[in-house]
Amino acid sequence: MTTPAPEHATDADPLSPVRAGLLRAAHADADALLTHAEREAAALLDQARAEARAILDEARRQGEADGSDAARDLLVKTRRDARSRTLAARREAYQELRNEAAERVRALRGTDGYTSLRGWLEQRARVLLGPAAEVTEHADGGVVARAPGRRVDLSLTTLADRAVDRVRGEVRSLWEP
Check residue 9 and give its pLDDT.
46
Is the pLDDT at 5 greater than 60? The verdict is no
Q: Confirm if 154 and 143 have CB atoms less than 8 A apart.
A: yes
For residues 113 and 116, what is the distance between their CA atoms, to the nearest angstrom? 5
> Of 71 and 175, which is predicted with more confidence?
71
CA nearest to 102, candidates 165, 147, 152: 165
Residue 130, φ and ψ in degrees, nearest 5? 105, 160
pTM (predicted TM-score): 0.55
Q: Confirm if 152 and 145 have CB atoms less than 8 A apart.
A: yes
Is the pLDDT at 89 greater than 70? The verdict is yes
For residues 16 and 88, what is the distance between their CA atoms, to the nearest angstrom? 104
> Average pLDDT of 15-38?
83
Q: What is the pLDDT of residues 38-81, one digit of tens each?
A: 888 788 888 888 888 988 888 888 888 888 888 898 889 999 99
Is the pLDDT at 17 greater than 50? The verdict is yes
Q: What is the pLDDT of residues 118-163, one digit of tens each?
A: 999 999 999 999 999 999 999 999 999 999 999 999 999 999 999 8
Minimum mean pLDDT among 90-99, 106-115, 148-157: which range? 90-99
